Chains A and B, each alone.
Chain A
Amino acid sequence: MTPAFEALQKELKRLPGVGFRSAERMAIHLLLEKPEAAKRLSDAILSASERVRSCSTCGNVCEEERCSICEDVRREESGSLCVVEHVSDLMAIEKSGAYRGRYHVLHGKLSPINGVGPESLNLAGLAGRVKAESVTEVILALPNDVEGEATCHYLTELVESDSVEVSRIGFGLPSGASVLYADSGTLKSALDARQRY
């Protein structure tokens, strides 16, 4: 291998979900098999990284100061603000069409062992938004692992008040699943999140 090849492979390997072998495959593909793809890819990366940025209000991807969701006044009507860990979570919820309020993307969750504290999360504007946008309900759509739970607890302390209710999305059975095959953790969450029929 040459130094330039190795430099590219090293950078590719830094990307999420890419291991040593896939980085090698990608580098061979881009440099030897499809050299024209390398140009297109690098142009796309450059142009996207110049234009795309994080919405100054919610942290979603956008090309202006604020994203299309934040610009949409109808989104304010519901009075709800949904807090997610990653932009990909926001996209998944949008795709489901089940929610028409606004979002706030943290870009992570509290994890002291990984050096992630409140200062590394997109938290600075959150409390201000809740007041300024007359939010009545904050919906926490964060994972139910230890770090996700801790983040929920921290956020509740931060935003809950007489006029703001904090709720948590339920963790229950996937649709179509049978009670018989669910593990006890899932069953417990499903029972905790039961609703009046």
Chain B
Amino acid sequence: MRFKTVAVSNYRNIKFARLDVDADRVFFLGRNGQGKTNLLEATGYVTSLRAFRARENETLLGPESPQAEILFEMEHEEYDEVEARVRIKKKGKEVYLDREPVRRASDFVGRFPAVMLSSEDLSIVRGSPGGRRRFIDTFLCGIDRDYYVALQRYQKCIQERNALLKKGAAANLMKPFEVQMVQPCLEVIRKREKVIGELGGMASRFYEMLSGSAEEIGMSYKPNASPEDEDAYWALLERNRRRDEIMHSTSKGPHRDDFELSLNGRPAADFASDGQQRSIALSLAFATIAYWRERFGVCPVLLIDDVLGELDPMRRQRFWNALDGGIQLIATGTELPDAASGKEWRVYEVEKGEFKPSAP
């Protein structure tokens, strides 16, 4: 797919912007804090109806504004020319596809894939488990609506259960939420396990291209707990009940999962150099793009936030060589990309939340 126009109003520090992005390579150029990442974030919102840097809707709304709005005009392999509009409010959001309201978020999620690569993603190897979970959840929510629903249910139940644990509530109040955790929990674990294995294998294909050396990337799931069936999950809950009551939170389950990246069988966080770790992160981004194309026949848009400048010239050159020409790329940075990118860029200069096309 491809973005043709992105327009936002009252989104973080951007009052209004409507950009023609109908080009293979688009660049938002500006100093930090001017709003270029905000627009990139708004662009990526279309995939999972989530902002990659925010948990709460409220942080996305402009000052004194009750709602933010994002409009996307896109070209899509399956839906042809299509317009999507998202209205984000303090509580909840409204989604319209070609002006028809979309009743459930889960009907929309994953139809319009964009793959985000931020500095946080670039340090995924050594970063926090939370960052790695966010990566795998963003990807899975995009490709699998049932996963999206299961994950939301599971997370909601955990929040409610933790609130009960804090109050020292009785078992008969806990149970109504616990019975709802079982199925989503098993589904989340099963699907993470499967996709982590698949992505690891695909990432290896890109690593040689991106690093110049043929090494094997491995991705292994490190579940916090791995109950095989309902009975095992109930046993797990019971085994940890006392501890949960003391700690005031649910100690075991997929909300504490992690996965590990390895290079030639050795943990990359300990044994890979900084450069190798970055190449692994880039390989993962390429793997998610390949997954979309091969499984669903849709080519995602690549969104890169302030990352190109962090690569050394050699790795940057390899990055451009590995990047398929058919992919639309929208990037941000404080400096223009070098000539090695091999294509014309459409550049917007960003200052104080305003976007101006740069004179060629």
Contacts and interface: CB of A to CB of B under 8 A. Distances in A.
Contacts of A124: none
A150 B177 contact: yes
B176 A183 contact: no
Nearest to B160: A112
Contact of B176 (A19, A21, A113, A150): A150
B174 to A, nearest CB: 9
Interface in B146-168: 146, 149, 153, 156-157, 159-161, 163-164, 167
A111 B157 CA distance: 10
Nearest to A110: B176
A146 B106 contact: no
A153 B179 contact: yes
5 contacts: A111-B160, A112-B163, A112-B173, A153-B176, A154-B172
B107 interface: yes
B104 interface: yes
Nearest to B180: A149
B248 to A, nearest CB: 12
A180 to B, nearest CB: 13
A113 B177 contact: no
A113 B159 contact: yes
B145 interface: yes
A117 B159 contact: no
User: Which secondary structure dominates chain B's binding surface?
Assistant: helix
A20, A150, A154, A157 pick with most chain B CB within 10 angstroms: A150
B175 to A, nearest CB: 7
B66 interface: yes
Query: What are the 7 tightest A-B residue pairs by CB atom distance, in nearest-first order?
Result: A150-B176, A112-B163, A153-B176, A146-B156, A113-B163, A112-B164, A154-B176
Given A19-B66, A184-B145, A149 B176 contact: yes
Contacts of B214: none
B235 interface: no
A118 B173 contact: yes
A20 B65 CA distance: 9
Interface of A: 19-21, 110-113, 117-118, 146-147, 149-154, 157, 183-185
B19 interface: no
Contacts of A21: 66
B178 to A, nearest CB: 9
B180 A150 contact: yes
A4 to B, nearest CB: 22
Nearest to A152: B176
Contacts of B104: 183, 185
A147 B160 contact: yes
B39 to A, nearest CB: 25
A117 B160 contact: no
Given A183-B106, A183-B145, A184-B145, A157 B172 contact: yes
Nearest to A158: B172
Given A110-B176, A149-B180, A154-B173, A185 B149 contact: yes
A189 B27 CA distance: 45
A175 to B, nearest CB: 15
Interface string B79-114: 000000000000000000000000010110000000
B169 interface: yes
Contacts of A118: 173
Nearest to A20: B66
Contact of A117 (B107, B153, B169, B180): B169
Contacts of A154: 172-173, 176
A146 B160 contact: yes
A21 B175 CA distance: 42
Contacts of B163: 112-113
A146 B177 CA distance: 8
Given A110-B176, A112-B164, A157-B172, 9 more contacts: A20-B64, A20-B66, A111-B160, A112-B167, A146-B160, A147-B160, A150-B177, A183-B104, A185-B149
A150 B159 CA distance: 13
A21 B64 CA distance: 10
Contacts of B167: 112
B160 A113 contact: yes
Contacts of A111: 160
